[in-house]
Structure 1
Amino acid sequence: MSQSTAAIHIISGRPALDESYYNPDEEELAFFKSQTGITDEKALKDHIVRIQTDAYQVYPYPCIRRFAFMKLKISRLPAYSKLLRLGNEREGAIFLDIGCCFGNDVRKAISSGYPMRNCIASDLEPDFWKLGHRLFNTTPETFPVPFIAGDAFNPEFLKPVPPFDSVPESPGPQLSRLTTLTPLLGHISAIHASSLFHLFDEVHQLQLARSLAGLLSPQPGSLIFGMHGGRSEKGFRTEQGAPGQTGTYMFCHSPESWEELWDGEVFEKGTVQVEAELQEIERRDIKAAPGTKFYELVWSVTRV
């Protein structure tokens, strides 16, 4: 996630926190119990709510208010099996979780068998990563995945380059020594970017896509994948917000426009396989007319 000036505004200020959104399923409870070491469900809830409260003060993202960080979204994406296969079959396959927030997704991938030594995480706000250590009762020593704080729109942090058409001649950098993402250009096998693109307008979504594409290895099977807000037709999600104030609306791609963006605008047409579909979601935190439907765009972009 990012707080770039390109990001959408949170409408109507900062809504109050509401514990009724805490509703993990059995798989999510099991994951958080195993990762935190807290097996008592009341104690676990109290612990998570404390972290949520502190994180909401850092930046009041709706996904924090809704406990979306508990939803194990990465493991429920269709491309998750591709990620794990890369980790097992490609030597030194680097995995970047960008917009990582607390780091719950990279932790889930590691718990599923992705080699920790090949993982790296990044977010604009370093306090979220620190809160992740508190959430999971770890330290940088007990969970040594490198974290790099920075703005993906800053060329000094991530230099925009065209997608690589051949493997870089230089070897991949040592992850623990990185201070920016630029040395990783052309070296990353998999990038996870969820709840990230929908924070930006159309122009900046394209800019971010191009920057991430420059990080991706040209080897067949390398992929970028994730999920974020979407619509059946490309455009602003006007079902919420103040009438006439389009600057507060979320810009959403459709599956068709998202495929066109990656296959033709970002990458040369025919060099990637794009899969994108809409999944209907419940958003009771958004005030909208009865019967209004909201969707997530679930997607992957794979080098061929």
Structure 2
Amino acid sequence: MSSQQATQVIAAGTPTFEIRPRQRYHEKLHNVPKVMSNLMSSYSGIPKNEQVTHITKVRNEAYAQFPYPCMGTFRFLDLDLARHEAYKEHVLNPLCQPTAPGKPEPLFLDCGCCLGQELRKLAVDGAPPHRLWASDIEPRFIELGFELFRDWDKLPRDHFLCPGNVLVDTKDPSEDQLTILNDKVTILNISAVFHLFDLDDHKRVANRCLRLLRKDTNAPVLILGAHAGSPKPERRQYRPGTEGERCIFSHNEESWEALWREVCEQPQWKDKVAALEVKAKMFGRVRNEDPDADEVITLCDPGVTSETSEARPWQMWEIWVTFTPGS
């Protein structure tokens, strides 16, 4: 797909429309999803009969400052990275392997880590903590994450970078601490981030991701994640008439690939990116109303999504980038 074709795919988005309001707050947590419950008991030492109270307390503190849907609906209890199709083979396995002679040591970054739940899952699954990094724009999220998991003595605090601002172009760590990881990351997870922004910001974030990636591996390096998608590319008006009003852009598989090909064909990357592979798969996402369910959100066949369906498109993706030697 050429740069011109990529632009045409993205430009084919539907007209702006208003996002329908959805329930953003659930007062009570009835059940902790099984994977998270096991993590909190084995890693954090929190008995299962105390978990609901503990999680709700931390969630309420977080929601008071950051009234985001993922907080209000306990969505952060679902471990999106762990159920990503690439998790075991392309994330966990490389991180757990000893470094081969002459090869760079793998480094994982969770960009937009929220409470750091994905990093804790990696740690409990056996990934060495010194290979794990996380970032967020809000320092309070980092502190609340340590309160939630009670692991002040298990993970290096200086591996949680804040502010980690993927929208700025700076070399000043005081504006963006992610600068210390430029050209060092071999596995970058960035979930539930792109869907917060409009298309121009998507290009900025993609550029920032590329700057973070290690260039001298002589092998593909990985960006992966998941976010709200759409059957066709479309610009949406988010929270109209409120202080948080803005436009956001949602992708289907074709426009998502087109975005990355357009960015990689920009002058600063055209001669540095030797190969690009984009994989994307759409699912339906439905809130699980069963209080004893093992998931807050259940992923289902994308065919069930529609304007009237409760299922919402959810896109899971991988970006494999091979850089030109010496770039």
Q: TM-score range by the shorter chain?
A: 0.7 to 0.9
Cα distance in 2 for residues equivalent to 1:63 and 1:213: 27
User: Aligned-pair distance for 1:10?
Assistant: 10
Give SS of 2:151's match.
coil
For residue 301 of structure 1, what is the aligned residue in structure 2? 319
Aligned length: 270
CA spacing shift, 1:291–1:158, aligned 2, 3 Å: farther
For residue 103 of structure 1, what is the aligned residue in structure 2? 116
For residue 143 of structure 1, what is the aligned residue in structure 2? 155
Specify every segment of 5 or more residues in structure 1 that has no aligned partner in the other structure, as ranges.
Answer: 1-8, 160-178
Give SS of 1:233's match.
coil
For residue 36 of structure 2, what is the aligned residue in structure 1? 28
Deviations along 1:192-244, whole A, 9 cap, x unmatched? Answer: 10111111111101110111111111322310101011011011357x8669x
Alignment equivalent of 1:38, drawn from 41, 46, 54: 46
For residue 172 of structure 1, what is the aligned residue in structure 2? none
User: Aligned-pair distance for 1:156?
Assistant: 3.0
Correspondence 1:115 to 2:124: no
CA spacing shift, 1:281–1:15, aligned 2, 3 Å: closer
Native 8 Å contact 2:286 2:310 kept in 1 = no
CA spacing shift, 1:272–1:68, aligned 2, 3 Å: same
User: Aligned-pair distance for 1:110?
Assistant: 1.7
CA spacing shift, 1:158–1:60, aligned 2, 3 Å: farther
TM-score by length of 1: 0.78
Cα distance in 1 for residues equivalent to 2:59 and 2:19: 17
Give SS of 2:320's match.
strand
CA spacing shift, 1:217–1:280, aligned 2, 3 Å: same
Native 8 Å contact 2:31 2:52 kept in 1 = no
Cα distance in 2 for residues equivalent to 1:255 and 1:46: 40
User: Aligned-pair distance for 1:157?
Assistant: 5.8
Letter in 1 for 2:179: T
Correspondence 1:273 to 2:251: no
For residue 170 of structure 1, what is the aligned residue in structure 2? none
Letter in 1 for 2:276: V
The more displaced of 118-127 and 27-36 is 27-36
Alignment equivalent of 1:255, drawn from 240, 253, 256: 253
CA spacing shift, 1:52–1:274, aligned 2, 3 Å: same
Q: Percent identity?
A: 27
Give SS of 2:256's match.
helix
CA spacing shift, 1:290–1:257, aligned 2, 3 Å: closer
What does residue range 61-140 of structure 1 map to in structure 2 within 5 Å? 61-81=68-88, 82-87=90-95, 88=97, 90=99, 91-139=104-152
Native 8 Å contact 1:152 1:158 kept in 2 = no
Correspondence 1:54 to 2:89: no
Cα distance in 2 for residues equivalent to 1:12 and 1:257: 25
For residue 166 of structure 2, what is the aligned residue in structure 1? 152
For residue 229 of structure 2, what is the aligned residue in structure 1? 230
TM-score by length of 2: 0.73
CA spacing shift, 1:181–1:291, aligned 2, 3 Å: closer
Give SS of 2:82's match.
helix
For residue 164 of structure 1, what is the aligned residue in structure 2? none
For residue 181 of structure 2, what is the aligned residue in structure 1? 184
Deviations along 1:2-30, whole A, 9 cap, x unmatched? Answer: xxxxxxx998799544325x543322321
User: Aligned-pair distance for 1:284?
Assistant: 8.4
Higher-Rg structure is: 2
Structure number with higher relative contact order (C-alpha < 8 Å, ≥ 6 residues apart) = 2
For residue 213 of structure 1, what is the aligned residue in structure 2? 210
User: Aligned-pair distance for 1:122?
Assistant: 0.6
Cα distance in 2 for residues equivalent to 1:272 and 1:234: 21
User: Aligned-pair distance for 1:80?
Assistant: 1.1
> What is the CA RMSD across the aligned residues, in angstroms?
3.2
Native 8 Å contact 1:283 1:294 kept in 2 = no
Cα distance in 1 for residues equivalent to 2:143 and 2:278: 34
Cα distance in 1 for residues equivalent to 2:23 and 2:195: 19
Give SS of 2:169's match.
coil
Cα distance in 2 for residues equivalent to 1:104 and 1:202: 28
